[in-house]
Structure 1
Amino acid sequence: MPPPQEEQQQPHRPQGGRRPRPPPAPPPMAYSDDMVAFYDAWVGREEQIVADLTAALALPPRRQRDALAPLVDAAVDHVAAYYEHKARLADRDVVAALDPRWLNPLERTFLWAWGWKPALVFRFVEAGGGGGGMGPAQRRALEDLRAATAAAERGVDREVAAAQESLAGPRVLAALRRQAPRDGGEADDAVAEVGRSLRVLLGAADALRERTLRGVVGLLAPDQAGAFLAAMLRFHLGVRRAGRDWSPGHRGV
């Protein structure tokens, strides 16, 4: 007598024939809350960096160079850390990255392509006192960098305008109309494509900001770079404090 045929194992299904649902993704607000906590701590570190730079700039010239070199590197790395953390947020939730609620209203007035305008850093070369000691070759290189930055900004402006037009395109608008709020379904291909484009654009704008900062620092001597960075970061901290202390009932005169 032939052996009984083995029964084919059927995949287990819950009662009712429904497939188990995947675990819910963390709410987008959790990602944004993480950025808020990061930014608060980041600003605290920035205050210490400015204090260290200010103290080093007050040293005698012979001691100043050795003290400033690592502080300049630390300041540039500090700024880069912000862009790196924001990039991780954008990878998880690009919409949260495009809505920087960790910034106060006054900080938001300086936004260009979701961050500081790269050309703004050139103002702090003179403001920090480093511009006075620059030689002709330094000034020519700085002007070349300024021109290249302005051209790159115009390119980003065009990309931002194109992204805005894409958001108002018929395929995207039709997809948004079809989407029920909180339905948990996958976004329409058109919406997802715009999201990917925005993520790339945000990364390009932040890369330009960081590249411009590193370019300016690379053209300056340690004492000039220290004065430049101290002036730039001090300005940011002033904007941060003013925006934090600004009350809704305040009226300027």
Structure 2
Amino acid sequence: MNPSSSSSSSSSSSCVGFAEFYETWFSELQRVVQELRGSRRVEAMEKVMRHHHKYYAEKSLAAEKDPLAVFLSPWATALERSLHWISGWRPTTAFHLVYTESSLLFESHIIDILQGHRTGDLGDLSPAQLRRFSDLQCLTVKEENALTEELSEWQDSVSEIMGPGAAFSEKIGRLVRIIKRADNLRLRTLRSVVGLLSPQQAIEFLIASAELLLGIRGWGLNHDRPYRK
């Protein structure tokens, strides 16, 4: 077997392996979130966080083996890929989710809040929390923009990749680093958002986040089903 054939076989194997992990991860996400929804306990919340950490650890290994496959994410649905930013969700989506959930809960409890009753949920974010969220969002946007620019520069270097004597492995290595930095930002943002919330609010956020991921995947699978027969 020639080297290129061996490399292709290895990439295909790693791609299949992560695709299987991806399916299992979503099934397990549904289970741990059901546990969190039922118990509303910090221990269950920590289990959800560990589940997210496991995803990025496995994805990092897959990116080292085949960054192009990870970037394209063939295991994801068409809908999921249409929402991707560097092979995953955009970190600032977490802030939009917090604000959306907060607005919905605030409206549903507005009478209680106006009467001075504290609900303690996401609709009851304090002014200090909102300021910290705003500061964190600004920092996250800056990191997103820097990574977007770095990816654009990488894509602009395609002529160098295909040129004579091109250092292909070096260019692919740069893509691996971009993917890992994007995933690191996603995980750090998730942890930071949870850290700014009370336990009750963090639990509500993690449930809403999981429902969003599972809902998008479910819609995507229904859309893709006719094309996968």
TM over 0.5: yes
Larger radius of gyration: 1
Report the equivalent of 1:34: 17
Aligned ranges 1:218-237 → 2 under 5 Å: 218-237=195-214
CA RMSD, aligned part only? Answer: 2.2
Aligned ranges 1:1-253 → 2 under 5 Å: 24=6, 26-57=9-40, 67=41, 69-128=42-101, 129=105, 130-169=121-160, 172-175=161-164, 189-247=166-224
Shift in alpha-carbon separation, 1:248–1:43, aligned structure 2, 3 A: closer
One-letter amino acid matched to 2:199: P
Shift of 1:219: 0.5
> Which ranges of structure 1 fall in alignment gaps of 5 or more residues?
1-19, 58-66, 176-187
One-letter amino acid matched to 2:209: M
Q: Distance in 2 between matches of 1:193 and 1:87?
A: 17
**Would the aligned equivalents of 2:77 and 2:224 in 1 still touch at CA under 8 Å?**
no
Number of matched pairs:
207
Shift of 1:24: 4.1
One-letter amino acid matched to 1:232: S
Q: Percent identity, please.
A: 29
Shift of 1:201: 0.5
Per-residue displacement from partner, 1:151-172 (whole Å, max 9, x unpaired)? Answer: 1111011101111011233xx2
Between structures 1 and 2, the one with greater helix share: 2
Shift of 1:249: 6.5
**Would the aligned equivalents of 2:88 and 2:183 in 1 still touch at CA under 8 Å?**
yes
One-letter amino acid matched to 2:158: L
TM-score w.r.t. structure 2 length?
Answer: 0.83
Shift in alpha-carbon separation, 1:247–1:99, aligned structure 2, 3 A: closer
Shift in alpha-carbon separation, 1:173–1:51, aligned structure 2, 3 A: same
